[in-house]
């Protein structure tokens, strides 16, 4: 059974369409990524699935419950870690969890048992009596993960869970998310604009742009659509080199760039000598670099722009609170 099913979902804010006729399905137990730039509609989609926002059109179900007709049942079956921190820094780690447990009606021995379990799960049992204000950024994020899992949800939504963390802490949090998914079997839906994060973590990734899914598959399958490695060759005459390299059957594509050409080949490292020799016949070669397939390149190939370029556009940011 699918943990999430979405069909034709649309959310408009006046003249802005934040989610546009979007359809997707997430399998139970899957670690699923919603990947795209800020403003793509990822947060609006998550807020809609969490029943925090009403859709303009379309249908969706989470853990078998319709978001329109059964919002209370949906909320009973989900955990959420929001992009912005939502912990009380004046309370201890345990006190934050006690407060959350009361909201979900978890009492008595069961509450104590679950708090012990989730603190152990995120390696914070020995810090339970410290104020959250004294936690590091990574510890606070782990406590939020524990809080999201406290009531044993079927689906855990993580909205940009590593934003604002340094590179080392982001790596640690990613490892915890992967371990939590493996150990608990909870379905995880992760939104991120960090391409390497989605690549490292997710079973499947939906690339979201302008409020819709432009591709959905495993990271490996998405990267295979690029057809090989990209080799950047810096040359004095890009047009001449472009024409020369297009004569070779093993060149998948070649396009001029600002300072040279970008060539897609089946095996970049092996083809570099041949590329240099061929380019040198018609121009001066001043540099070569090989780039393996990445989700960033997939996004560029699908949309014609990089994630950084897309983030600079005011697509739906004002309507979605920064997504």
pLDDT digits (tens, 9 = 90+) for 146-178: 999 999 999 999 998 888 888 888 888 898 899
Picking from 30-34, 188-192, 234-238, 290-294, which range would have the lowest pLDDT averaged per residue? 290-294
pLDDT at 106: 95
State yes or no: pLDDT of 314 exceeds 80.
no
Annotation: CATH topology of 2-223: Rossmann fold (3.40.50)
Q: Is 163 helix (H, G, I), strand (E, B) or coil?
A: coil
CATH 3.40.50.300 domain residues, the chain? 2-223
Q: Is the confidence at residue 319, as pLDDT, over 80?
A: no
- Residues 51-64 pLDDT 10s: 999 999 999 999 99
pLDDT band at 85 (very low <50, low <70, confident <90, very high): confident
Instruction: Give residue 274's pLDDT.
Output: 93
- Cβ atoms of 130 and 89 within 8 Å: the answer is no
The pLDDT of residue 39 is 86
Q: Using alpha carbons only, how large is the chain's radius of gyration in Å? A: 23
Which percentage of the chain shows pLDDT scores above 90? Answer: 72
Element (H, E) at 291: strand 285-291
Q: Supply the pLDDT for residue 323.
A: 64
Residues 285-312: tens digit of each pLDDT: 999 999 888 898 898 888 877 777 777 6
321 pLDDT exceeds 70? no
Position 269 scores a pLDDT of 83
Mean pLDDT, residues 111-126 = 95
Give me the pLDDT at residue 315, please.
46
Tokens at residue 120, please? 């152990």
**Residue 301 CB burial class (10 angstroms; 0-12, 13-18, ≥19):** middle
- pLDDT at 267 exceeding the cut of 70: yes
For 227-292, which CATH class? Answer: alpha beta
Calpha distance 188→80 (Å, rounded): 10
Q: What is the mean pLDDT of the chain?
A: 91
* Listed residue (172, 174, 182, 139) closest to 158, CA to CA: 174
Q: E strands, 145-228, where?
A: 155-159, 187-192, 204-209, 212-217
pLDDT classification of 236: cutoffs 50, 70, 90: very high
Domain with CATH 3.30.70.920 in the chain: 227-292
């Amino acid at each position: 059974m699918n943990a999430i099913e979405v069909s034709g979902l649309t959310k408009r804010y006046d003249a802005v369409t934040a989610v546009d006729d979007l359809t997707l399905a997430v399998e139970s137990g899957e670690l699923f990524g919603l990947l795209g730039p800020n403003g793509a509609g990822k947060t609006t989609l998550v807020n809609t699935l969490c029943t925090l926002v009403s859709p303009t059109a379309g249908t969706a179900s989470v853990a078998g419950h319709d978001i329109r007709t059964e919002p209370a049942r949906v909320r009973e079956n989900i955990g959420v870690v929001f992009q912005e921190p939502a912990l009380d820094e004046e309370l201890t780690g345990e006190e934050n969890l006690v407060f959350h447990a009361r909201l979900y009606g978890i009492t008595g021995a069961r509450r104590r048992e679950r708090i012990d379990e989730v603190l152990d799960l995120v390696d914070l049992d020995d810090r339970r009596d410290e104020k959250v204000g004294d936690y590091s950024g990574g510890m606070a994020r782990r406590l939020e993960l524990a809080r999201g899992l406290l009531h044993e949800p079927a689906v855990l939504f993580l909205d940009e869970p590593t934003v604002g963390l340094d590179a080392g802490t982001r790596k640690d949090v990613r490892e915890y998310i992967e371990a939590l998914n493996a150990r608990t079997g909870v379905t995880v839906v992760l939104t991120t604009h960090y391409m390497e994060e989605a690549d490292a973590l997710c079973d499947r990734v939906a690339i979201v742009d302008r409020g819709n899914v432009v591709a959905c598959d495993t990271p490996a399958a998405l990267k295979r659509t690029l057809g090989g490695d990209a080799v950047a060759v810096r040359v004095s005459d890009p047009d001449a080199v472009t024409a020369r390299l297009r004569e070779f059957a093993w060149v998948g594509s070649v396009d001029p760039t600002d300072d040279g050409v970008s060539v897609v080949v089946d095996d970049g490292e092996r083809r570099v000598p041949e590329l240099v020799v061929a380019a040198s016949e018609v121009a001066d070669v001043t540099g070569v670099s090989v780039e393996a397939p990445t989700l960033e390149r997939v996004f560029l190939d699908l949309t014609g722009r990089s994630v950084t370029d897309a983030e600079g556009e005011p697509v739906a940011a004002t309507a979605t609170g920064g997504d």
